[in-house]
Amino acid sequence: EVQLVESGGGLVQPGGSLRLSCAASGFTFSSYAMSWVRQAPGKGLEWVSAISGSGGSTYYADSVKGRFTISRDNSKNTLYLQMNSLRAEDTAVYYCAKGCLKQPVDAFDIWGQGTMVTVSS
């Protein structure tokens, strides 16, 4: 069964850091781009970051550029999102999503269940 399981969310103070993980199973992980997409409470979906299948290319939304770092370990079938200098506006459910191609250009065909990140003092 194709599956994505996120972990690492929680409560963090403004200015703090958090690392999210996404464990993949049921498909050849290195063959597909992966992305993080977030959804603030009661709001719409916002693409956050993407990484190519090899990990050699990374992409970021302007809202997180310079603060978040996406990475992947293809030997462990795991995607990561290192989040630094967190702000209240980063509070959201964070989903990892599998791309349809090796490069992040096409749709997200598999989504995890999401992990909640709350930034508050």
Partner 1 sequence: QSALTQPRSVSGSPGQSVTISCTGTSSDVGGYNYVSWYQQHPGKAPKLMIYDVSKRPSGVPDRFSGSKSGNTASLTISGLQAEDEADYYCCSYAGSYTSYVFGTGTKVTVL
Nearer of residues 18 and 38 to partner 1, judged by Cβ:
38
Pick 17 or 109: Cβ nearer partner 1: 109
**Beta carbons within 10 angstroms of residue 121's beta carbon:** 9
Q: Per rule CB under 8 A, is residue 32 in the interface with partner 1?
A: no
Nearest to 71 by CA among 87, 86, 58, 89: 58
Q: Which is nearer to partner 1, 23 or 61 (CB)?
A: 61
Taking residue 88's Cβ as centre, other Cβ atoms within 10 Å add up to 10
**The one segment of 15-23, 24-32, 68-76, 106-114 that binds partner 1 by CB under 8 A:** 106-114
Token pair 């403004």 is found at 14
Q: Is 109 in the site for partner 1 (CB under 8 A)?
A: yes
CA distance 15 to 65: 15
Residues found near partner 1 in the complex (CB under 8 A): 35, 37, 44-47, 50, 59, 61-62, 95, 97, 100, 104-109, 111-114
